[in-house]
Amino acid sequence: MPRHETKIVGAVCAAVVLTAVTGLPPWSTKAASTSTISESISIEGSVSNSTINNTVIHENPDTLALLAKALSDKDASEEHRRQAEGKAAELATKLGFTSAAVSEFFRILGEQNVPEEKIPARLIEIATHFTQTRDELAALETDEPHAAELARAAKIALDAGRLTEADNLLDQAKETELAALRQARELKQKAQEAEDRHALNAAELTAGRGNIALTQLRYTDSADRFKEAAALVPAGHQDEKANYLSSQADALRRQGDDKGDNAALKQSIEIWRLVLVQRPRDRMPLDWATTQNNLGIALEALGERESGTSHLEAAVAAYQAALQERTRDRVRLDWAGTQASLGSALARLGERESGTARLEEAVAAYRAALEEYKRDRVPLDWAGTQTGLGNALARLGEREGGTARLEEAVAAYTARLSRNGRASRRHGTGRSCRTTSAPRLEGSGNGRAGPRVWRKRSLPFARRSRN
């Protein structure tokens, strides 16, 4: 007789002996220590007071062990297998499962070599997971027809105890749903792209209305249109939003500069500072610098009208920040423009202070600008800067005594007069001035157009490009 059959026969003989002692058949003899089984099951975390728990607890542990051996042994005799399957069918009726499913439970216990003392607890664990899986499959609702068909087939296989088949079917159903998920995501992405495209188009059309309002010198209306355009820009398009905010800020600066509206200037300053957040220096250094420059212009315009110096000092700081990225070797004319603006703000500060330090700094800034503002290259910018230099030198001469500074001022004015004899009438000679040459469009650092200004009179707006 084969060794494995010897083991089974020995186990059956032991059951017969047990029957002789207790007077009960082997399949119904209860455990000698039910409390030990209950403790083991509790430790395993099974659900107490459930049908599964109560049914298994009241089964003889030795019987459960015999069933695990008989139903997992492929070489067991037909007789032993038939007896074991009969007992499994009885247990299945109590548990509410198919006999095939319960037979599979015991086959798993045997194949996994679960120690006999742990078989009741593991049986409860298996049955509980089986119930959960079956209930979840029954409740599964999917609108993907093929996945639904596979899920139904998996439930049938599960009820029949064909767990491997059920697992394979569920894997196929999962792949079907994943394919549907990818398709849904593609559709969602296309829908989002279409939504963003329409939003950007609406924003650009709204900005067009803002440009029309600028043409009509309706600066407040223009600022409102650019604000509306910025609000329409979808997430993920930070540069476009920054451009519209820049346009809004500059429209407000025009309103404040031309209409004497200090509230508009203050609002412009707030928006320029917001744009600085949208254009970080490490990502867009030249755009950041231009925004600092434009912030300086708004601050200086407001500072000119106030008796204090806080806004003028803030303007100087903004211009100096811009020069950190607007270097001479990088953007020559932009560097010169910011130097001229810095000279203007320093000169205004110098007029309000008793010393000469600020005026001397203004002279240095104007002269730096003239290193790139050449008469034959940018004649209007050159001429305006000469006038600003003359004003600063004249003020210095008044405070220092002597004639050296005044003579330098005369030289600057004379140079300016060689370009336009009406310079003194246009700007005056008692205060610092800026150039007021025709607006000039400056390219942005990232290749996109935007309002890039350094003068009091800002530049015309260019059409924004979208990525």
| Per-residue pLDDT tens over the stretch 13-50 | 333 333 333 333 444 444 434 444 444 444 333 333 37
| pLDDT interval class at 137 (50, 70, 90) | confident
Flag whether 82 is in a domain: yes
| pLDDT of 3 strictly over 60 | no
| pLDDT of 455 strictly over 50 | no
| pLDDT interval class at 314 (50, 70, 90) | very high
Which pLDDT value is given to residue 54?
A: 87
Which pLDDT value is given to residue 435?
A: 36
> Cα–Cα distance between 280 and 286 in angstroms, integer?
10
**How many domains does the chain divide into?**
1
The mean pLDDT value of the chain amounts to 81
| pLDDT interval class at 443 (50, 70, 90) | very low
Flag whether 228 is in a domain: no
Which pLDDT value is given to residue 363?
A: 96
Q: Is the pTM of this model over 0.85?
A: no
Q: At 379, list the tokens.
A: 């004649």
> Cα–Cα distance between 196 and 232 in angstroms, integer?
9
Helices 219-232, 262-278: inter-axial angle, 10-degree rounding: 30
Helices (H), 328-435: 332-352, 357-370, 379-400, 404-419, 423-427
**Kind and range of the H or E run holding 252:** helix 238-259
CA-nearest of 156, 176, 179 to 166 is 156
For residues 314 and 359, the answer to whether their CB atoms sit within 8 Å is: no
> Cα–Cα distance between 332 and 106 in angstroms, integer?
86
Q: What are the distances in angstroms from CA 392 to CA 302, 318, 345, 365?
A: 20, 21, 11, 11
For residues 72 and 131, the answer to whether their CB atoms sit within 8 Å is: no
Flag whether 39 is in a domain: yes
> Cα–Cα distance between 267 and 234 in angstroms, integer?
23
Q: At 119, list the tokens.
A: 């078989």
DSSP sequence for 268-329: HHHHHHHHHHHS-TTT-HHHHHHHHHHHHHHHHHHHHTSSSSHHHHHHHHHHHHHHHHS-TT
Flag whether 425 is in a domain: no
Flag whether 341 is in a domain: no
The helices-and-strands tally (H runs, E runs) of the chain is: 19, 0
> Cα–Cα distance between 384 and 325 in angstroms, integer?
24
Domain around 132: 3-139
Task: Provide mean pLDDT across the span 386-395.
Answer: 95
Which pLDDT value is given to residue 47?
A: 36
> Cα–Cα distance between 116 and 113 in angstroms, integer?
9
Task: Provide mean pLDDT across the span 137-148.
Answer: 86
> Cα–Cα distance between 196 and 283 in angstroms, integer?
23
Flag whether 303 is in a domain: no
Q: At 458, list the tokens.
A: 């800002």
43-52, 95-104, 150-159: segment of lowest average pLDDT: 43-52
Is residue 458 classed as helix, strand or coil in its secondary structure? Answer: coil
Flag whether 269 is in a domain: no
CB-based burial label for 188 (10 Å; 0-12, 13-18, 19+): exposed
134-138, 222-226, 245-249: segment of lowest average pLDDT: 134-138
> Cα–Cα distance between 465 and 467 in angstroms, integer?
7
Flag whether 380 is in a domain: no
